[in-house]
Amino acid sequence: MKPVLFLPLLAAVLFTAACTDSKRARNDATWGDRPAQITCWSYGVQNFEGRSTGKVEYDDGGRISFVDAANNRYTTIDGDCRVVYDPKPN
């Protein structure tokens, strides 16, 4: 095998092996536009539970922004939130 062809093949194999399930899921969520289930708390009290119509955006201050599926309105929330994206369609 020629060395010129071997290096790109080796790089592709190493890249594929280095990607874990969590890294692939993170990339899908970061670059995709899938809906998510969102639950938020403030001072230990749940203050929001709902769904987004698509991707949830995060800003540097910890605020999340999304379109609420219940009322189709742009929503922002400060607090501790759990965001669970829908699975990638097959």
What digits encode the pLDDT tens for the residues 22-44? 887 777 767 778 899 999 999 99
Q: What's the Cα-to-Cα distance from 81 to each of 12, 37, 46, 62, rounded to whole Å?
A: 36, 10, 9, 9
Average pLDDT value for residue range 67-85? 95
Q: With beta carbons less than 8 A apart as the criterion, state whether 36 and 56 touch.
A: yes
The tokens 């708390």 sit on which residue? 41
Averaged confidence pLDDT in the chain? 82
* Predicted local confidence at residue 39, as pLDDT: 97
Q: What is the pTM of this model?
A: 0.70
Q: Which residues, other chains included, contact 82 with Cβ-Cβ below 8 Å and sequence gap of 6+?
A: 38, 39, 40
**pLDDT given for residue 36 in this prediction:** 95
Please choose, from the candidates 31, 45, 48, 43, the residue with its C-alpha nearest in 3D space to the C-alpha of residue 83: 48
